[in-house]
Amino acid sequence: MELEHFFQCPYCWEDISMIFDASVHHQTYIEDCEVCCNPIEVSPTFEQGELIAFDAQSIEQ
């Protein structure tokens, strides 16, 4: 089950979206912003296909 989630980029503050696999309870990975191309560490948590927690942080360089 895929779920699209909208949030603000921690670098450019633009609204962006990412599609997550809601069948995986907790995920952490790095994906580039579709606007400014900076790396974002995203950590969504799902329970029974529902997003219950989400964090998006800039990567310290």
Output the pLDDT for position 61.
Answer: 61
Q: Sign (positive/negative) of CA torsion 1, 35, 58, 56?
A: negative
This prediction's pTM = 0.85
Residue 42: name the closest of 17, 15, 12, 13 by CA: 17
For residue 39, the enclosing domain spans: 2-58
The tally of domains found in the chain comes to: 1
| pLDDT reported for residue 60 | 76
Q: Which residues of the chain have pLDDT under 70?
A: 61
